[in-house]
Chain A
Amino acid sequence: MNTDNWIRTSGITIALIALMALAVLKEHTVQAAPSESSVTGTVKLEGTPPHQRPIDMSKEPSCAAVHKANPVATETVVAGADGGLKNVVVYISDGLSGPAATEVAPETPSWDQKGCQYIPHVMALNPNEHFKVTNSDPTSHNIHPMPQPGGPNHEWNKSQPSGAPPIDAAWQSPEVAIHVKCNIHPWMSGYMVVVKGPYGVSDDKGSFKLDNVPPGNYTLTAWQESLGTQTQKVTVAVGKPTSVSFTFKAK
C-alpha cells in the first residue's frame, strides 16, 4: 500500500467514526427532547443602585488578604453596567401542576464559603433538593440559615472548620427566602430560595433561564433580596422558548 492510499483509507475511517458518533449523539438528543419548553429573559434595574458598603475583613486576616487588591462590598443589590440585575430568583409561583410541581432537580449544588463570602450569594433549590456546604477557607465558618420561626423549615447552625468534609443538607418545604449568616464573620450574608418547579437565578448580565417548563399558563415571580418581588403572567407553548423581562426600580 503506498502512502497516498494509506492516508485516504485512514481519512475515510476517521470520517466514518465521526459520523457514527454524531448519529449516536443526535439520536440521544432527539430521545431526550421532551414536550417541554424553556423560559428565558433578563432582569433589569431602573435607577441608581443603592450604595454598597465596602466590607472590612481585618478581623479575619486570611480573608482580608484575599480581597486586598479588590475589596468586596455588600451584595444587597448587584447591578451590571447595562443595568442587568444579578441574583434574582425567577420561579413559577402559580399554575404548576402534575409532576413538574413535585419534581426535584437532580443536581446537588454547592454552597461554598470562600474568602469569607458565600458563593453563590443566592441559591435556588427545590424542596428536598440536597445541597453541599463546603469551606474553601483556611479558617472556620459557621453556617446559620434562618428560616421563618415556626415555619415548616427548621433553623440550624453548624460549625465547619477548615478542611472539614462538606455538609449535606436540604429544605423540606418551599420558602422565599432563607437568610444565611455566619456568626463568626458578621459580614457574610446569603439567601437560599426554596421553590417548587423550575427556577432560574439571574447572572451578571441579568439573564436567567427556566428549563423543562411544561406548556401552560403561569404566574412567574422574580424575587430580589432587598427590592422585593414582581410577578408576571406568561403562556408557555410546546417547543417554543418564551421570553420574559422584569424591571425592578431602585428604591
Chain B
Amino acid sequence: MGKLLAVTLIVIAIGSAIPILAHIWVPPADISTHGYQIDEQMSDTMVEAGICFLAAQIILGVFIWVFSGRKPGAKLRTFPGGAKGLVGAAFILVGLEVIILGAFGKKAWATIYFTPPGADALPVQVQAGQFAFYFRYPGADGKFGPLHPDKINEANQNIFGLDVDHDPDSKDDIVTAEMGVPANKEIHLLMHAKDVGHSFYVRELRIQQDFVPGLDLSLHFTATKVGRYEIVCTQLCGLGHYNMKAYLNVMSEPDYEAWIKQQASMQ
C-alpha cells in the first residue's frame, strides 16, 4: 500500500508538470517594450518553483517507498542536529531562494517602475470609477484642466467633472471611453480613482497596477503591436466589478491621428 502511494505521488507530480513543460497554456503574446523582462522573470520563477516542486514530491515518494513496511522497532538515522537542524536548514534554503528570486525580480521591476517617462511621452489620464474606465487626452495645449468632483454628471457625460466654461486648460481636453494609442510611442498613463480601489490590467501589455483613491499613480509603457486589447479591472470594486472593462486600441500613427480628431469632434 505504501509503495502504491509513493508511485501515485510521483506520477501526479510529473503529470502536472507536463502541460507546463509542453507550453500548453501560454500567456498571450507580449506587445510591449518592457514585457520581455516580466516574461523572463515569470519563466525563471516557474523553472525554480517547478524544480523545487518536483524535487519535493519525488523525494517524498522515495521516502515513502523506502521506509514503508519497515519492521517495528527498526532504527532510523536522524538528520544531523535533529529537528532544530532540519528546520534551520530548510529556513536557509527557502530564504535563499526567495532572496535570489527577489534580487532578480527587483531589476525588472525597477526598470519599469523606477524610471521616469521620456520627455516626449504622450500623457493619457485614466479615471477608474464604479464600473467603467474613462480616458482623457490633454488636447493641443498639452495640459489637463483641473478636476471638480462636484461637477461629475453622468446625465451629460461629464465623467471627469471638467468645467470647460471656466478652466481654459479643460477646453480642448478629449474624454473617451476607449483608450486609443499610437503604436511604438511611449505613453505616460496617469491613474486616478473616482471612488474606490480599482486596477488597470492589460495582459498583453504585462501591466497590472492598482488605482488607489486619493493617490494619483503613474505608469509608462510603449505598445508595439497594432490591435484591440481588453483593459480589465482586477481589484474587486463592487457589484459590477465583473463588467468593469474598456478597450485599448493600439493604432498606427495616422490611424491614431484620425481617431483622436474624431474623438475631439465628439466632445
A: residues with CB less than 8 A from B are 53-60, 74, 76, 139-140, 142, 157, 159, 179, 181, 183-189, 225-226
How many chain B residues touch A (CB < 8 A): the figure is 23
The reply to whether B155 and A58 form a contact with Cβ atoms under 8 Å apart is no
The reply to whether B155 and A56 form a contact with Cβ atoms under 8 Å apart is no
CB within 8 A of B176: which of A56, A74, A185, A226? A56
Smallest CB-CB separation from B159: which chain A residue? A186
* Bound-state Cα–Cα, A35 to B88, Å: 98
Smallest CB-CB separation from B176: which chain A residue? A56
From residue B75, how far is it (CB to closest CB) to chain A in Å?
67
CB within 8 A of B156: which of A76, A140, A157, A181? A76
The reply to whether B177 and A183 form a contact with Cβ atoms under 8 Å apart is no
The reply to whether B156 and A53 form a contact with Cβ atoms under 8 Å apart is yes
The reply to whether A183 and B156 form a contact with Cβ atoms under 8 Å apart is no
Q: Which residues on the A side are within 8 Å of B33 (C-beta)?
A: none
The reply to whether B243 and A140 form a contact with Cβ atoms under 8 Å apart is yes
Q: Which residues on the B side are within 8 Å of A54 (C-beta)?
A: 266
Q: Do A59 and B159 form a contact, CB below 8 Å, given A142-B239, A159-B239, A183-B130? A: no
The reply to whether B246 and A58 form a contact with Cβ atoms under 8 Å apart is yes
* Bound-state Cα–Cα, A188 to B156, Å: 10
* Bound-state Cα–Cα, A181 to B266, Å: 22
The reply to whether B246 and A187 form a contact with Cβ atoms under 8 Å apart is no
The reply to whether A179 and B155 form a contact with Cβ atoms under 8 Å apart is yes
B163 close to A (CB within 8 Å): no
Q: Do A181 and B239 form a contact, CB below 8 Å, given A58-B178, A59-B132, A186-B129? A: no
B131 close to A (CB within 8 Å): yes
B267 close to A (CB within 8 Å): yes
Q: Do A186 and B154 form a contact, CB below 8 Å, given A56-B176, A58-B178, A59-B132? A: yes
Q: Which residues on the B side are within 8 Å of A74 (C-beta)?
A: 155-157
CB within 8 A of A184: which of B131, B155, B159, B247? B131
Smallest CB-CB separation from B240: which chain A residue? A184
Q: Which residues on the B side are within 8 Å of A185 (C-beta)?
A: 132
From residue A122, how far is it (CB to closest CB) to chain B in Å?
11
From residue B164, how far is it (CB to closest CB) to chain A in Å?
11
Q: Which residues on the B side are within 8 Å of A57 (C-beta)?
A: 177
